[in-house]
Amino acid sequence: MTDTTPLAPITSADRIQALDAIRGFALLGILLMNIEGMVGPLMASMSGVDPALAGADRWVDTAIYLLVQGKFFPLFSMLFGMGFAIMLMRAQAAGRPFFAVYLRRVLALLVFGLLHAMLVWPGDILVIYSLMGLLLLLFFRGTPQSRLPKWGIALMLVPALFTLGLGLLGTAVQSMPGEASVGFAQALAEQSAEMASVIQAERVAYGSGSFGEATAQRVDDFLGMIGFIVIYGAFILGLFLVGAWFTRSGAMARPQDHARLFAGLRMVALPVGLAMVLLSYWLEPTMDFGRLDIRASTAQVLQMLGGAVMALSYLAWVVHALHAPATARLFGLLGPAGRMALTNYLLQSIVATWIFYGYGLGYFEQLSRAWQPVYVVTFFILQVALSHWWMARFRFGPAEWAWRAATYLNLPAMRRG
């Protein structure tokens, strides 16, 4: 007989503790990646290495491109898939309904994402996560464990092949004689001019505009950003499935039983992924919005796939650090920050936009690239300390409490004891 008792929020004793620490580590990387688009125009931060930078600013920008950009949202994506698999396994083990619970979960995340994108910062990832989470629920909750990585890799290759196809098409058209190549070049020039116009509009709205003016620009930026779901949607869904495999296979709960896998990810995936990213940097370190050819597309694909490979290695290295006597305590300190990851993610945007936007303290474009990691590390240390203080007194972060209330249709106890 099926148990229809509603699922309840997971207790501390049921958590895979490593996931909390990895989420905390990923939070640091996410802010290192996002800070450039908070200090200055968002769209300008999406073009890779800024060719206008020099000296320490150039070195820091390059280091972020090689080691951070495109590496931490894949890690967070895999963590999302792991969370999905944990909830599904618990529901199946208890014989309890899952579909409606998880549907409410992704719809609540969609609300968080829309509010974040429209009112705080348009570089939001939660909306895409919620939409891809809906596809995860609809089409992959019954996928056998052995097929999860196959589907995951296949979905990740879809945008890569699409991007390469566009590059080949662009190269072919530009080599044609006559009006075809001229018209294509004109269209690319118009696209480049339009992007420059967007960047300038962001500079005005976020740098010196009122909250209303900034919000109007955020809406425009969000509508432009959501178009990237065509490329990154399948990629993120594929990462969800890879993450789900790590949970369903027992690799996260029992890493000692998968020692060869994690050793391979540490020792092989990192140099392979880094080599792909270095090749991307050598081909084209900066993405030109007025350019479409096979060289630029190849660089983009290498950065995308190389970043995912490096994310797998980062995952393995953190798991290793959590089980090594010399580093377990240090990385374990990240656990409370990871347990309230949604709250901390939103807080990063709220504080940064208040500091840098014109309707706040107004330091837009006044923090140099070289000093941005200093801000990030300092702020993150404060977040970890605040998370320890909060989680010692409460069972959930504020956003997590609201998310769970919407998911389970009840008000979970907030205070400990």
The DSSP code for 267 is I
Domain assignment of residue 414, yes or no: no
Question: Which residue, chain included where needed, has tokens 């390469």?
Answer: 164
SS3 assignment, position 413:
coil
Domain assignment of residue 5, yes or no: no
Is the pLDDT at 167 greater than 70, yes or no?
yes
* Residues facing residue 394 across a β-bridge: 415
Kindly indicate the confidence band of residue 14, based on its pLDDT and cuts at 50, 70 and 90. Answer: very low
Domain assignment of residue 7, yes or no: no
Domain assignment of residue 371, yes or no: yes
Kindly indicate the confidence band of residue 226, based on its pLDDT and cuts at 50, 70 and 90. Answer: confident
Task: Give, to the nearest 10 degrees, the angle between helix 211-225 and helix 99-119.
Answer: 130
| pLDDT tens digits, one per residue of 302-355 | 999 999 999 999 999 999 999 999 999 999 999 999 999 999 999 999 999 999
H/E stretch holding 391: helix 372-391
Which tokens sit at 154? Answer: 């296949």
- pLDDT of 138 reads 96
Alpha carbons 286 and 52: distance in angstroms, whole number:
11
- By residue range, what is the domain housing residue 281? 12-408
Domain assignment of residue 2, yes or no: no
Question: Which residue, chain included where needed, has tokens 């432009």?
Answer: 224
| pLDDT tens digits, one per residue of 86-98 | 999 999 998 889 9
pTM above 0.75, yes or no: yes
Alpha carbons 353 and 236: distance in angstroms, whole number:
26
Domain assignment of residue 415, yes or no: no
Q: Which residues neighbour 158 within 8 Å (Cβ) at sequence distance 6 or greater?
A: 234, 235, 238
Residues 371/356, Cβ–Cβ less than 8 Å: no
Is the pLDDT at 417 greater than 80, yes or no?
no
Least confident of 216-230, 243-257, 348-362, 374-388: 216-230
Which tokens sit at 395? Answer: 């069972």
Mean pLDDT score of the chain: 93
Region at 286 (left for phi over 0; alpha for psi -120 to 50; beta for the rest): beta
- pLDDT of 181 reads 81
Q: Give percent above pLDDT 70 in the chain.
A: 96
| pLDDT tens digits, one per residue of 235-288 | 999 999 999 999 999 999 899 999 999 999 999 999 999 999 999 999 999 988
Q: What angle do CA 127, 133, 135 make, to 5 degrees?
A: 115
The DSSP code for 395 is S
What's the burial of 292, exposed, middle or buried (CB within 10 Å: 0-12/13-18/19+)? buried
- Phi, psi (deg, nearest 5) at residue 183: -65, -40
Domain assignment of residue 87, yes or no: yes
Q: What's at 326, amino acid-wise?
A: A
| pLDDT tens digits, one per residue of 389-406 | 999 999 999 999 999 999
Alpha carbons 239 and 76: distance in angstroms, whole number:
9
The number of angstroms, rounded, from the C-alpha of 225 to the middle of its chain's C-alpha atoms is: 14
- pLDDT of 176 reads 83
Domain assignment of residue 4, yes or no: no
H/E stretch holding 212: helix 211-225
Is the pLDDT at 180 greater than 80, yes or no?
no
Return the closest-CA partner of residue 97 out of 1, 3, 8.
Answer: 3
Structural domain count of the chain: 1
Alpha carbons 268 and 254: distance in angstroms, whole number:
21
What is each CA distance from 186 to 44, 290, 293, in whole angstroms?
22, 9, 15
- pLDDT of 15 reads 55
